[in-house]
Amino acid sequence: MSPPLKIAVAGLGTVGAGVLTLLNRHAELIERRCGRRIVVAAVSARDRRRDRGVDVSGMRWYDDAAAMASEAEAEAVVELIGGADGVAREVCEKAIARGRHLVTANKALLAIHGAALARAAESRSVALAFEAAVAGGIPIIKALREGLAANRLSRVYGILNGTSNYILTAMRESRRGFSEVLAEAQKLGYAEADPGFDVDGIDAAHKLAILASVAFGCEVNFSGVYVEGIRHVSLSDIEYAAELGYRIKLLGTARMTRHGLEQRVHPCMVPAEAPIAHVEGVFNAVVAEGDFVGTTMFQGRGAGAGPTASAVVADLMDIACGRQSPAFSVPATALAVLPSAPMARHRGAYYVRLMVVDRPGVIAEITAALRDEQVSLESMLQRGRNPVDAVPVVLTTHETEEEQMIRALAAIAKLGSVREPPRMIRIIEEL
């Protein structure tokens, strides 16, 4: 029997405690599948006295996580602190510098410093593993990097944030507004006290940047991701979507175009019959399109102690078994630097909701503004008549270039009959 894999764990929050619990509960199973035990030799967290529901008495405790990464008697370091810089980054860099394998669930760190960490890891011949950083318990990194390795991927997209998906699902099912459902999500623990990273799309954008790098063998480019959240999605938008045959989902999409790599996170109207339209609540889903395999979809819980710990331990088991692949599908020195496709060049159909004064000539003014930018109208819905107050008018367009759509909406917003800024949601038909 091979000697045990000794590890050091930085961060004992929900996920860190989950990792220790899983390693303890499934110790025999893990040893049988790896031929090695995985032993936690050292841990580090901010509060030594906190009861985490796991026994850490036999492990060396470090108050300084970076010191642990350098000094602990460990073959691998697990970083579960979080944050793009600060202590988390120091732990990762020191672990690699000392020739230790690194397992991390830190999507923000990887989205910003992923390529640099991959180069450092390869120079020291150690693994950089991060299955837990994207979509929790869904083994999507391994699927893209290994299971679909023989395919040329054309597109990767999915629901990458459970909080936003829960909010949009609950709004539709309970017919309540964004603010009320967000408050409920915070009470249930699905949303943070400061929900910005989730509802403004930042969390999903971090994950999309990582997925794009793995899928297309390019350097991680978080700054190239177009990001738009769900704060502006109203209950009326969700109800109009249903009437038009759609559901609204916050999607992250990466694909190669003639303008470069397109990476975008924003609310989408997806056909109600599409499989991803039925991924509800806190669940995540990722779809990959390959030239030989066709379309594959992966679905599961995107967060939480159990799913994330499962992904972390899977990476540790790979290390224990001696399985090591390039972090982002190709050697770090071969990662391509791809141009970012500007969002203005995106082509698609659009949903637009306007609040207008109900008087003769209003619709003619709106359609003239669309005509002037060569935007073709597909459908129009108008509910009610009110000569005093504004009434909603909903438009859908045929496929057009985003730059033209933005110019048309700017012209419409200037019309005296339009009382609120136009609300636009992109329609995604090809799913």
Q: Could you list the active site residues? A: 207
Cα separation, 395 vs 165, whole angstroms = 25
The burial of 374, by beta-carbon neighbours within 10 Å (0-12 exposed, 13-18 middle, 19 or more buried), is given as: exposed
SS3 15: helix
Task: Please say whether the dihedral angle defined by the alpha carbons of residues 95, 101, 107 and 112, taken in this order, is positive or negative.
Answer: positive
Q: What is the DSSP string of 81-108?
A: S--SSHHHHHHHHHHHHTT-EEEE--HH
Residue 39 vs residues 20, 43, 143, 148, 316: alpha-carbon distances, Å: 10, 11, 27, 32, 11
Task: Report the 10 Å Cβ neighbour count for 35.
Answer: 11
The 10 Å CB-count burial string (b at 16+, else e) for 361-372 is: ebbeebeebbee
Cα separation, 98 vs 89, whole angstroms = 14
Residue 120 is inside which H or E element, if any? helix 107-123
Residues 6+ apart with CB under 8 A from 171: 177, 178, 181, 233, 235, 238
SS3 155: strand
Cα separation, 63 vs 308, whole angstroms = 24
Cα separation, 330 vs 348, whole angstroms = 32
Q: What is the DSSP string of 193-212?
A: SS-HHHHTSHHHHHHHHHHH
Nearest to 73 by CA among 164, 19, 4, 154: 4
Residue 428 vs residues 43, 230, 408: alpha-carbon distances, Å: 46, 16, 20
Q: How far apart are the first and last CA of the chain?
A: 49
Residue type, 431: L
**Which residue in this structure is represented by tokens 């992904």?**
311
